[in-house]
C-alpha cells in the first residue's frame, strides 16, 4: 500500500476516534492542524483546539522513506516503534525532560504526544544568541539519568542484554554509520561542500592517517560498544527549551551504543554554535565574544554536571547494593579509582564522537542551520575550516584531553588563531 | 519434571530411534555407552558399536544445573541450543577444525556429534609434554576464520546486529562475569586458594589499583563489546588434537563479545602450561626448558599466525568489495594504517583477557589440572605466584606490550627471576 500523508480532515477524524486524545483536544471540528516537520525524516503536525489553544498535541508519523531524499531512500516505518519505546523508557527515567506519549499506533506508524508549545528548538535559540540559565543543569541530568540506568553499572546483566537485543535499530544505525563515520572521509556523491571550502581541508579528511584511524575507532565503537540505550541523535535540533524547561525529543535513532555518542553529539553542536557565532554574533554590529564564552561555559557545565551526577548515581547505587562493578567492597580505593578512570575513558569517547559529528555537519549531506545560513561563502568557509580543525584535534587528541577545560582552551585557540590570521 | 540422566539402555533406545544416527551406529544392541563428562557442566557419552568400533558418536546432554556444583546452581538447558548453533556456525566457517553435529534435540537438551576418537584433550597432551606440529597453524586458522567472519569487518551491519541479538547468552556470560572478572578480585566464598599461596599474592589482587582497573576494563569490554561470535571458553580443555588434526569443541559459552577474549583464553592456558612445566617437566629427572620454549613458540605462532590470516581475510574482502571499513579506496595508506592499529588494539585486549583468565585459574573456583596436580604444596604455590605475576603484568602493561615477542620475554623473565630466587 502506497503511503499517503494524512489530510488535515482525515487526521482530525482519526484523532477524534481515540478517546484519550479526544478528551485532551475537544471537538474535532475545532481543530487546527499544521504540518511542521523539518523535512528530514517524518511528518509532524501541531494539532490545536482553536477555541482553547492550550489544548494541543503533536502528531508524528513516519513515512516509509527518508523524507529528505524521497521515495528513492526507503526506510521501514518501524522507526516509530523505536521512537515510542525510547520516549517511554527515557520518560520513565527522566520525566521532567522527555515529552509524554499520549497514544501510539504501530499500524499507522504514528504517535500523539505532548505539545511543547512554549518551547523552541535549542538550535534556533542559540542562533539568536539566547541564553538559557537552566539548560546545562537539565541536559546534564538527562544525560546522567538515561546513560546510567540503561547500563551494566545499574541493570542486572540479563536484563541489560535483553534490553540491548530488543533495541537493535539496524536501519537507522546504518544511516549514522554511513553519513557520520564513512562518507565524510571519502569522496562520496552524497557529500555536500561549501563552494569556498579549500580543497586542502577536504584532502586532509581523506589523507591524515591519524585522523582516519581515530574516526575508524569511533565507527568501530559505535557499531560494537553496546553500553546503554542512547538517544542516538542528540543534536541541538533534538532539544526544546525555554527559560524554565528543557525537553529532549526525537529519539528514533535510539539503540544500545557507546555512552559518549550522545554527549559527544551535544558538545559537537555547542561547538558548531560557538564557531558560527563569529558570524551570527556580528549581525547588527554585535560582538560575538560574550555569547561565545557562554557557549563554552555551557559545554563545561554539561560535561562536569553530567560527570558529577553520573558518578553520584553510580556511587549511590553501589553503596546501596554493596556490590561494586569491579567487585570487592564498595568503599575501597580501587572502586573510586576505577570510576575516575571510567570517566576519563568516557570523555575521550565523547570527544572522538564530537569530532565525527562536527565533520559530518561540514562535509556530509545533512547540515546545520547556523552554518548553512551564513550567506557570505568566504566567511562561511572560514568558519567551517575552524570547525574542521577543532574536530580533528578532538579526534586525534581525545585521550590526551583529560578534562573538559582543555577542550575549551582548544576551541578558543582554534578560534583565535583563525581570527588572528585574517 | 526432574531431570534424569539417561541410563545406557535408554540412551541406546533413543539413538536407535533416529534414522540418521542409527545408520551411522548400527544395531542398538551392539552399542557400548560410557559417560565421560568432565563433570563441570554436562553429561557426555561415548557411544560405540562394539562390533565395528569406528562406528561411534558422542552424545552431550545439558542438565538444568551446573554439574560441578549440583542442583543448587540451576542453569537453563538452553545452553545446548547455543552450543548447537555455535557448532554449526563455526563448522560452516571452519569445517576442518569443528566437530560435525549429526542430530540435535532441543526438547531433550542433547546433541549427537562426531566422535574424535583418535584425538585427546590438548591440556592433557601438554601436561605430558607432547608437541603437536600443526596445532598453532590450525588454531590460528580457526581463530582468524571464526573471529573475522562474524564481525562488522565482513558482515553487513544489519546481518551482524541480527546475529548478535540472536546469540545473547546471558546465563553463561554471567558465570564468566562473576568467576573470571569479579570473584577473583575479592574475598569471595567460591574462591579456592592453594594452602601455601602467600597472603601477599592474594592481597595484591584486591589492593593493586592498576590491576583492578585493568581487570574492570576487561570486564566492561566483555559485557559491552559485541564484536564477533566467540567460542567463549577457549581453553586447552576445549581443544582436541592429534599429530595431524585439531578440533575446537564445547562452544556453549558462545556469544557476541570482544575478539580478544577467545585468543586471550588460549594464550592464558599456554602460559599456565608454561609455568606449570617447571613441575611436570622435572618428573623422572627431566629438564623442562626445551618444552617450555616450545610452548612459548606456540604462543608466538598462534598470535602471529592469527594476525597474518585475519589481516589477509580482511584485505581480501575489502579489495574484492572495494568498500573498506574506514571508507575511501581499498588501497589507501590510511586503510593499512588502520588495520595495523586495529591489530595492536586487539593484542592489548587479548593480553588483558589472558591475564584475567590466568588469575581466575589460580584463585577462582574452576582450576586447571596442570596446576592442581602438582602435589607439593610449596612448589605449586611458587608456580602459582609466577603465573599471577605474569598475569598482572599482562593486564597492567597490555597496551605497552605491542608485539607477542614482548609477551614471551615477559613470561621468560618472570620464570627465570623466580627460579633465580629459589
Residue B421: the pLDDT is 63
Indicate if B229 and B110 belong to the same structural domain. Answer: no
pLDDT at B67 over 80: no
pLDDT classification of B183: cutoffs 50, 70, 90: very high
A327 interfaces chain B, CB cutoff of 8 Å = yes
Indicate if B184 and B287 belong to the same structural domain. Answer: yes
pLDDT classification of A72: cutoffs 50, 70, 90: confident
pLDDT classification of A2: cutoffs 50, 70, 90: low
A226 interfaces chain B, CB cutoff of 8 Å = yes
DSSP code of residue B225:
B
Contacts of A158 in chain B (CB under 8 A): 170-171, 174
Q: How far apart are CA B262 and CA B142, in angstroms?
A: 11
Tell me, what CATH number does B109's domain have? 3.30.200.20
Q: Are the beta carbons of A213 and B325 separated by less than 8 Å? A: no
Q: How far apart are CA B151 and CA A132, in angstroms?
A: 44
Q: How far apart are CA B48 and CA B53, in angstroms?
A: 6
Best of B326, B346, B392 to substitute, by most chain A Cβ atoms within 10 angstroms, is B326
Cβ within 8 Å of residue B207, ≥6 positions away: A333, A334
Contacts of B171 in chain A (CB under 8 A): 158
Query: Domain count of chain A?
Result: 2
Indicate if A77 and A225 belong to the same structural domain. Answer: no
* Region of poorest pLDDT, from A224-228, A330-334, B55-59, B380-384: A330-334
ipTM given for this complex: 0.95
**Rounded to whole angstroms, what are the CA distances from B108 to A122, B64, B100?**
58, 11, 19
Shortest Cα–Cα distance, A416 to chain B (Å)? 31
Indicate if B55 and B182 belong to the same structural domain. Answer: no
Residue A370: the pLDDT is 96
| Mean pLDDT of all residues in B117-141 | 97
Nearest to A224 among B152, B168, B332 (CB): B152
Indicate if B284 and B305 belong to the same structural domain. Answer: yes
pLDDT at B354 over 80: yes
Indicate if B76 and B162 belong to the same structural domain. Answer: no
Nearest CA in chain B to A225: B225
Shortest Cα–Cα distance, A338 to chain B (Å)? 5
Class of residue A8 by CB neighbours under 10 A (exposed 0-12, middle 13-18, buried 19+): middle
pLDDT at A1 over 60: no
pLDDT at B168 over 60: yes
pLDDT > 70 in chain A, percent = 99
Return the C-alpha torsion angle B364, B369, B371, B374, nearest 10: 130
A161 interfaces chain B, CB cutoff of 8 Å = yes
pLDDT tens digits, one per residue of A372-410: 999 999 999 999 999 999 999 999 999 999 999 999 999
- The interface residues of chain A toward chain B in range 172-211, judged by CB-CB distance below 8 A, are 173-174, 177, 181-183, 185-186, 188, 206-209
User: What are the CB-based long-range contacts (under 8 Å, 24+) for B66-74?
Assistant: B66/B40, B66/B41, B66/B175, B67/B37, B67/B39, B67/B40, B67/B41, B67/B42, B67/B43, B68/B39, B68/B40, B68/B41, B68/B365, B68/B366
| Mean pLDDT of all residues in B378-383 | 96
> Are the CB atoms for B253 and B80 separated by under 8 Å?
no
pLDDT classification of A93: cutoffs 50, 70, 90: very high
Q: Are the beta carbons of A209 and B165 separated by less than 8 Å? A: no
Shortest Cα–Cα distance, B288 to chain A (Å)? 37
pTM: 0.96
Q: How many interchain CB pairs under 8 A, A with B?
A: 138
| Mean pLDDT of all residues in B323-339 | 93
Indicate if A63 and A198 belong to the same structural domain. Answer: no
Neighbours of B365 (CB within 10 A): 18
pLDDT at A113 over 70: yes
A185 falls within a domain: yes
Indicate if B273 and B349 belong to the same structural domain. Answer: yes
pLDDT at A422 over 70: no
Indicate if B244 and B265 belong to the same structural domain. Answer: yes
Tell me, what CATH number does A239's domain have? 3.90.1200.10
Nearest to B225 among A158, A165, A224 (CB): A224
A340 interfaces chain B, CB cutoff of 8 Å = no
B1 falls within a domain: no
Q: Are the beta carbons of B337 and A168 separated by less than 8 Å? A: no
Q: Are the beta carbons of B215 and A326 separated by less than 8 Å? A: yes
Residue B2: the pLDDT is 63
Nearest CA in chain B to A323: B182
Residue A38: the pLDDT is 73
Q: Which domain holds residue B110?
A: 8-114
**Rounded to whole angstroms, what are the CA distances from A161 to A203, A227, A230, B339?**
41, 10, 15, 29
Contacts of A326 in chain B (CB under 8 A): 182, 185, 212-213, 215-216, 219
The strand order across the sheet containing A31-35 reads A31-35, A43-49, A56-61, A110-114, A101-105
Return the C-alpha torsion angle B78, B80, B85, B88, nearest 10: -170
Task: Dig out the grid coordinates for A353 from the structure.
Answer: 564522537
Q: Which residues pair with A65 in a beta bridge?
A: A74
Shortest Cα–Cα distance, B172 to chain A (Å)? 10
Residue B128: the pLDDT is 96
Q: Which of A71, A93, A114 is the last residue of a domain?
A: A114
Phi, psi angle pair for A123, to nearest 5°: -55, -40
Q: How far apart are CA A326 and CA B394, in angstroms?
A: 18
pLDDT tens digits, one per residue of B15-62: 999 999 999 999 999 999 999 887 677 899 999 999 999 999 999 998
A162 interfaces chain B, CB cutoff of 8 Å = yes
A44 falls within a domain: yes
Indicate if B286 and B151 belong to the same structural domain. Answer: yes
Complete DSSP assignment for B187-203: T-TT----TTS-HHHHH
CA angle A185, A186, A190 (to 5 degrees): 105
Pairing of strands A70-74, A65-66: antiparallel
B234 falls within a domain: yes
Best CA proximity match to B213, nearest among A143, A227, A261, A328:
A328
Q: Are the beta carbons of B326 and A185 separated by less than 8 Å? A: yes
Q: Are the beta carbons of A327 and B182 separated by less than 8 Å? A: yes
pLDDT tens digits, one per residue of B87-106: 999 999 999 999 999 999 98
Indicate if B91 and B173 belong to the same structural domain. Answer: no
pLDDT classification of B422: cutoffs 50, 70, 90: low
Nearest CA in chain A to B257: A224
B308 falls within a domain: yes
Nearest CA in chain A to B211: A334
Task: Dig out the grid coordinates for B200 from the structure.
Answer: 601477599
pLDDT at A79 over 90: no
pLDDT tens digits, one per residue of B190-203: 999 999 999 999 99
Shortest Cα–Cα distance, A22 to chain B (Å)? 39
Q: How far apart are CA B192 and CA A140, in angstroms?
A: 44
> Are the CB atoms for A296 and A390 separated by under 8 Å?
no
Helices (H), B17-169: 19-25, 79-93, 122-127, 135-149, 157-166
B373 falls within a domain: yes
Instruction: Determine the 3-state secondary structure of A392 from DSSP.
Output: helix
Neighbours of B349 (CB within 10 A): 24
Q: Which residue has the cell 554585535?
A: A286
Q: Are the beta carbons of B338 and A216 separated by less than 8 Å? A: yes
Write out B257-280 in H/E/C secondary structure: ECCHHHHHHHHHHHHHHHHHHHHH
Contacts of A336 in chain B (CB under 8 A): none
Indicate if B206 and B84 belong to the same structural domain. Answer: no
Q: Are the beta carbons of B227 and A224 separated by less than 8 Å? A: yes
Q: Are the beta carbons of A164 and B161 separated by less than 8 Å? A: no
- The interface residues of chain A toward chain B in range 275-294, judged by CB-CB distance below 8 A, are none
Task: Dig out the grid coordinates for A357 from the structure.
Answer: 559529528
Pairing of strands A56-61, A110-114: antiparallel
Amino acid at each position: 500500500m502506497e503511503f499517503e500523508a494524512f489530510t488535515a480532515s482525515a487526521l482530525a477524524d482519526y484523532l477524534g476516534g481515540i478517546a484519550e486524545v479526544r478528551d485532551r483536544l475537544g471537538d474535532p471540528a475545532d481543530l487546527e492542524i499544521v504540518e511542521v516537520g523539518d523535512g528530514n525524516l517524518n511528518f509532524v503536525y501541531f494539532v490545536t483546539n482553536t477555541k482553547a489553544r492550550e489544548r494541543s498535541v503533536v502528531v508524528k508519523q513516519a513515512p516509509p522513506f527518508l523524507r529528505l531524499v524521497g521515495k528513492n531512500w526507503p526506510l521501514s516505518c518501524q522507526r516509530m516503534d523505536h521512537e515510542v519505546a525510547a520516549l517511554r523508557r527515557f520518560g520513565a527515567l527522566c520525566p521532567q525532560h522527555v515529552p509524554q506519549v499520549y497514544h501510539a499506533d504501530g499500524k499507522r506508524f504514528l504517535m500523539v504526544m505532548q505539545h511543547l508549545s512554549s518551547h523552541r528548538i535549542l538550535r534556533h535559540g542559540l542562533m539568536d544568541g539566547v541564553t538559557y540559565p537552566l539548560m546545562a543543569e537539565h541536559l546534564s541530568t538527562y544525560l546522567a539519568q538515561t546513560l546510567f540506568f540503561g547500563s551494566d553499572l545499574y541493570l542486572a546483566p540479563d536484563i541489560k542484554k535483553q534490553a540491548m537485543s530488543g533495541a537493535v535499530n539496524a536501519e537507522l544505525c546504518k544511516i549514522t554509520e554511513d553519513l557520520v563515520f564513512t562518507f565524510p572521509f571519502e569522496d562520496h556523491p552524497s557529500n555536500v561542500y561549501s563552494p569556498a571550502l579549500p580543497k586542502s581541508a577536504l584532502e586532509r579528511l581523506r589523507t591524515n592517517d591519524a585522523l582516519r584511524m581515530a574516526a575508524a575507532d569511533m565507527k568501530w565503537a559505535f557499531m560494537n560498544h553496546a553500553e546503554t540505550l542512547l538517544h542516538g541523535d542528540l543534536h541541538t535540533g533534538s532539544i526544546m527549551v525555554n527559560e524554565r524547561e528543557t525537553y529532549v525529543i526525537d529519539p528514533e535513532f535510539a539503540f544500545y551504543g557507546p555512552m559518549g555518542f550522545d554527549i559527544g553529539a551535544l558538545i559537537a553542536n555547542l561547538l558548531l554554535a560557538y564557531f558560527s557565532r563569529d558570524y551570527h554574533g556580528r549581525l547588527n554590529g554585535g560582538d560575538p565574544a560574550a555569547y561565545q564564552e557562554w557557549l563554552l561555559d555551557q559545554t563545561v557545565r554539561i560535561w562536569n554536571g553530567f560527570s558529577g551526577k553520573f558518578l553520584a548515581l553510580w556511587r549511590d547505587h553501589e553503596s546501596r547494593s554493596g556490590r561494586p562493578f569491579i567487585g570487592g567492597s564498595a568503599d575501597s580505593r580501587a572502586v573510586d579509582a576505577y570510576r575516575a578512570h571510567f570517566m576519563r575513558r568516557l570523555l575521550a569517547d565523547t570527544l572522538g564522537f564530537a569530532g565525527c559529528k562536527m565533520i559530518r555537519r561540514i562535509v556530509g549531506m545533512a547540515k546545520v542551520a547556523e552554518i548553512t545560513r551564513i550567506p557570505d561563502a568566504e566567511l562561511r568557509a572560514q568558519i567551517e575550516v575552524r570547525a574542521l580543525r577543532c574536530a580533528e584535534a578532538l579526534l586525534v587528541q581525545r585521550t590526551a584531553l583529560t578534562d573538559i577545560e582543555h577542550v575549551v582552551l582548544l576551541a578558543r585557540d582554534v578560534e583565535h588563531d583563525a581570527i588572528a590570521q585574517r
